[in-house]
Amino acid sequence: MKSGSIITSAQNPKIKSLLALEKPRERKKQQLFTIEGIKEIHMALQAGYRIGTVFYCDELIKKEELQSLNVPDRLLVRVSKPVFDKIAMRENSGGVIAVAEMKTHRLEQLTLSDNPLVLVLERVEKPGNLGAILRTADAAAVDAVIICDPQTDFYNPNVIRSSLGCVFIRQTAVATSEDAIRWLKEKNLRIYCTWLEASKAYTDVDFTVPCAIVMGTEATGLSDLWIKNAHANVIIPMHGKVDSLNVSVSAAILVFEARRQRMVYARK
């Protein structure tokens, strides 16, 4: 594309290729995904992600503001406001969208602290929940988030949006439940599973030791495999008429209880 030119049609091949990445199958096939927002792109770069084409609308962001990304001019693609509105999935994305290369997310790539706290999610379905949990994991400085048998992926645009970029800066891994259980046991982490039929309140569990908090889906909960391999099955007592919480809320309650216990223990 010539210097100073602008894409004004959503039928442009570059735009069509970008829009194709909204589909999970296409993201997996190309090993590419999109990032909206200058802050999120910076977070991805700081985490070592490789950035390719950057689409921007100069009605929303000045080209000079993109200089901090250190992207060659040949990778900057200017688009009209109507085209940008077509490719943007969120409001207030700041007028910039980048295409980036995926990373691998394997258990053996995770590094743990001396007293690790790990969060495990089995069969997570809703991207918004996964994104919110990643924000919680970052706020509580969880060592890693492991997704078992996922129904969504880390690079779903709604995960990136709802995590505010935390998906790039927290350690994450994808595994089967069998492999995750084996890995946790090899690392000598206690496995605490949330289960509605559990008799142990989460406040009565010792989170000061190396451990993993395991969450299931709101609809079906955890599989029997996790329940059988748990060191303890815990519950958040309910005092109202509804017997369950959103999984991201439950994760936040448990993770910050673990952080609270660890802070109290450290003061002793």
Tell whether the model's pLDDT for residue 114 goes beyond 80.
yes
Of 97 and 93, the structure prediction assigns the larger pLDDT to 97
Kindly state the percentage of the chain with pLDDT values over 90: 79
* Rounded (5°) CA angle 166-127-77: 65
From-to residues of CATH 3.30.1330.30 in the chain: 13-101
pLDDT band of residue 93 (cuts 50, 70, 90) is: confident
Which of 12-16, 92-96, 137-141 has the lowest average pLDDT? 92-96
Mind listing the pLDDT tens digit for each residue in 200-227? 999 999 999 999 999 988 677 899 999 9
In the predicted model, is pLDDT for residue 100 greater than 50?
yes
266 — pLDDT class (breaks 50, 70, 90): confident
Of 15-24, 192-201, 209-218, give the lowest mean pLDDT range: 192-201
Taking the alpha carbons at both ends of the chain, their separation in whole angstroms is 64
pLDDT at 4 over 80: no
pLDDT tens per residue across span 139-155: 999 999 999 988 888 89
CATH for 107-267, options being 3.40.1280.10, 1.10.10.10, 3.40.190.10, 3.40.50.1000: 3.40.1280.10
pTM: 0.90
- pLDDT for residue 243: 67
Residue 183: predicted pLDDT: 98
CA gap 31, 6 in Å, rounded: 27
Report, as an integer, the average pLDDT of 64-89: 92
**What pLDDT does residue 267 have?**
81
Mean pLDDT of 188-200: 88
Whole-angstrom distance, CA of residue 37 vs CA of residue 54: 11
> Which architecture characterizes domain 13-101 according to CATH?
2-Layer Sandwich (3.30)
pLDDT tier, 3 (very low <50, low <70, confident <90, very high otherwise): very low
pLDDT tens digits, 180-191? 999 999 999 999
Tell me the pLDDT tens digit for each residue of 245-257. 889 999 999 999 9
Residue ranges of the chain that CATH labels 3.40.1280.10: 107-267
Given a cut of 50, is residue 1 above it in pLDDT?
A: no
| Residue 225: burial class (beta carbons within 10 Å; 0-12, 13-18, 19+) | middle
